[in-house]
Structure formats: structure tokens, C-alpha cells
Structure 1
């Protein structure tokens, strides 16, 4: 069951401990016809999260009680909507970590309000496009289509040959795009049993699939290894902004 729900009314969640900045951002977004709810800590948000309709989360990293990275990882277990970091932390390592754990965008403070609004709109558009293109049997992303019934993958309109096992594994990655899947997750989903801590069958399958998939010419996506955590399917090489 989803921990967070989505609604037709665009509801922005801001998680920010700088009260003045949060108020200014809230006022600007409300002037642009968005519903906005502000929380000043991760725990305050989590206490209410189950009852909220959420379309996008805008989150600082330096938060009391639990930092933004931890909150993003926790949220990604049950929330698949846009998650955007808005932070003063400008190091490339922080930017890479934020995107690797499942954020859709990483915006540095200070940011001009019109640019923040444009980035929010872009994240919402991408989410709506991806939602409308996913059915029970076919997923269509920009420049990629995977059809589970027809057992076909195409990238840049070119068919890509995969074995049945490879296609099923890739389907799982794509269906959970930007979410890090651990060995435990993959064993349960693909093998149908719990990981025993030693079996490397999933590692071998992922390695073969990743080698084949990542090598596709002009492929806009890739299967990434998240050190000590697992694997994720994401857009290729998102640059710092």
C-alpha cells in the first residue's frame, strides 16, 4: 500500500528549517496557484505524511533530527513522485549522492523564484508524462519502450535483443526508475525467495544485463551500481546544475 498518495490538485511539500525562507517560498508558490504545506523538520513531515496528497517534495539537506538524504531514501520506499533537493550544499559529491539515492533534481540556494518555479514545473511534467505512459504491460519513456507482452525492448526506435530473463529484470528496473533495488529486493522479485547472503545469481544477471544495456549506442539511460546499496535505473550522466 502506498504510504503517500497523489492528487489532481498540485500540492507541493516544502521541508525546510529556515522558517523565513520557507515562508517566502510558500508565498511565491501560492501566488502561482499551488497548494503548499511547509514542515520544518523531517520528523514533522513523516508524522503527517500518510494523510497527505503529495505531488512534489522540495527538501533541504541540512535538517534537524534527520537529514534530507536520509529522508529521501526513506521516502523512496513508498513514494514515487518528484523529489527535489533545495540546498546550500554545493559540493559535487553531495549533488551526486542526492541524485543517486533517488532525487529528481538538485537545486542550489540561493535560487531566483522564477527559476525554482520552472524546475518544479519541469519535474511535474516529467512525472505526469511517465505516469501516463505506463500501463500494466508496456512502459514508454523518452526514447525507450519496453513491452512485456510482446517481449520487446526498443531504444531510440531500434529493437534491442534481450533474453527472457534479461527483459524481465530490465522491466523491474524501469518500473522502479530512480529507486535503488537491493539484493534482497531483487531476490524476492526475480527469484521468488529471500537472499541468503551468499548467492550471487542476481549479481551475475545484473552484470550481464548492465553490460549489454549500458553499451547501447546513444542510450539515454543506464543501470547504475549504488555502492553497498544495490542497483538503480536512471537517466544517464545527470550533470551538476
Structure 2
């Protein structure tokens, strides 16, 4: 993101843990105060004083959180918020001197995550930012936990969709549950007893061949070698092993 001649930028921190913050604020004194304070708190801050300039240079992949004023030259904050939400899913905090409930509601409806009325003390602003970042982190973690990826294999736990090498794999509910259980325990040998209990909810009696039959069908659908399976391996005398590195 390259600011124009009216903008200022704090050089990005060398620490990979720096939070990349975009501040869009036309009050130069306030922008400088916020920038300098947050820079001390491990934020890499980029400042724009015009809404249109900020939007023109915006790159969602380079921003972790946005502070956005409402009253801006070039384009107002509500318009910017609407445009940012087309490509950006991170936290947006609106910082404004306007205290109207209508503005607050509109900002939140257009995608803002929080609304702070000026004046605000820097430590309070920092606390609000950290709260938004924590919430975003939990959301991202939950989302990532809903999808398991091993090379070309993608398992969406929420939609029950399995894709291998770009092609959808049609699995029954029990086959999907079996695959999920194996994948969540990738690298660990699971006994037939463990698997049977997991997918049927009852103890394995040592005689039922249900597990072996389902593993065989699952291998076939996942293009595993029937004679020498390498994706879901048989560990003789112990059980089955889901190989995380075998899905190229």
C-alpha cells in the first residue's frame, strides 16, 4: 500500500507478529497521536487522510484491522466501509465525532464491528482494538477448524463436502464420519475397536467386519490402492493409519 503525498506511513515492523493497522483519519493531530501510540504497542500503522486515496490503495491481504473516521474528504466513512466489505473480512472500528444513533446503526449495518465516539483516550482505543482482534482470531480459528486440508484433499466439516484433486467425492454419512475421524487423528494408528466405537457408538465385539468393509469402500472412493493402500494404511495387528502426506 503506497500512500500519496498527503499521507504518512509508519515503516512496517520487522516482527512478524506486528498487527497491520490501517488508520483513515483526516484530523492530522489525532492521526499522529494514534499512530505514535499504537506503534509503541507493536502495531504497524499506515495512515491516510483522504477516503478516496485509502480506498484506491487498499489491499485486504495487507491489513489486519481498520480504524475509520466517518467525516472524510474524498469519500465518507460509511461509503468506504461498504466498499471495504466487498473484499475485506477483518475488523473495522469506526472512530468519529458524530454521536448520532442513526450513524451508529448505519455503520454497524454496513459492516463495522465497533463504534467509538471522539474524544477517546489511546489506552481505551487500544483495549477496543485488542478486543476486536481477539474476537476475529477466535472466529478465524473456528472457521479453520471446520475445514481439514491434506494436500489435494479438502474436508469441509460443516457442509459435509469432500473434494479430492478438485473433484467432489460422494460419501455416505457414515463414510464421511469415518473419514473425519481418521483425518482428525492423522498420523495415529486407530484400532478397529476405536473406529467401531466412534462411528457406531457401541463397543467393538471383535467379530464385526463393518469397519473393514467401510474402510475398503472409503479407499475406493478416495482413489487409494486396493492392494497396497498408501493413503489409509493397514497396520497389521493394530488397526488403520491415515497418512497426512499421501494426498498430493
- SS of 1:14's equivalent in the other structure is strand
- What is the TM-score of this pair, normalised by structure 2? 0.52
Deviations 1:184-224 (A, max 9, x none): xxxxxxxxxxxxxxxxxxxxxxxxxxxxxxxxxxxxxxxxx
Q: Contact 1:137–1:149 (CA<8 Å) still a contact in 2?
A: no
8 Å Cα contact 2:21/2:65 also seen in 1: yes
Do structure 1's residue 16 and structure 2's residue 22 form an aligned pair? Answer: no
Give the C-alpha shift of residue 26 in structure 1: 0.4
Larger radius of gyration: 2
C-alpha distance in 1 between matches for 2:110 and 2:159? 27
Indicate the residue corresponding to 1:148 in structure 2.
159
Residue 104 of structure 1 corresponds to: 113
When residues 52 and 136 of structure 1 are mapped into structure 2, their CA distance, relative to the original with a 3 A threshold, is closer
Following TM superposition, by how much is the alpha carbon of 1:31 offset from its aligned partner in structure 2, in angstroms? 1.3
Give, in whole Å, the separation in 2 of the partners of 1:107 and 1:131: 24
Report the TM-score when normalising by structure 1.
0.53
Please give the per-residue CA displacement for 1:157-177, whole angstroms capped at 9, x wherever unaligned: xxxxxxxxxxxxxxxxxxxxx
Secondary structure of residue in 2 paired with 1:81 = coil
Gaps of 5+ in 1: 1-6, 139-145, 151-241
- Count of matched residue positions in the alignment of Structure 1 and Structure 2: 137
- Matching residue of 1:170: none
Contact 1:12–1:35 (Cα < 8 Å) also in 2:
yes
Show the counterpart of 1:39: 48
Range that drifts further, 66-75 or 129-138: 129-138
Match of 1:69 in 2: 78
Paired with 1:137 and 1:112, the residues of 2 have a C-alpha distance of 38
For the 8 Å contact 2:66–2:93, the answer to whether it is kept is yes
Which structure would you say has the larger RCO, counting Cα contacts within 8 Å and 6 or more residues apart? 1
| CA-CA distance at 1:51 after TM superposition | 8.2
Contact 2:24 2:67 in 1 (8 A): yes
State the SS of the aligned residue for 1:118: helix
Give the drift of 1:34: 1.0
- Moved >4 Å (runs of 4+): none
- Cα offsets for 1:78-107 (capped at 9, x unmatched): 000001100011011111111011000000
Aligned to 1:234: none
Q: Structure 2 regions of 5+ residues with no counterpart? A: 1-15, 148-156, 162-248
> Which residue in 2 is equivalent to 1:205?
none
Question: d(CA) in 1 for partners of 2:77 and 2:160?
Answer: 39
* Residues 132/33 of structure 1: CA separation in 2 closer, same or farther (3 Å cut): same
Partner of residue 179, structure 1: none
Match of 2:134 in 1: 125
**Whole-angstrom distance in 2 between the partners of 1:41 and 1:52:** 21
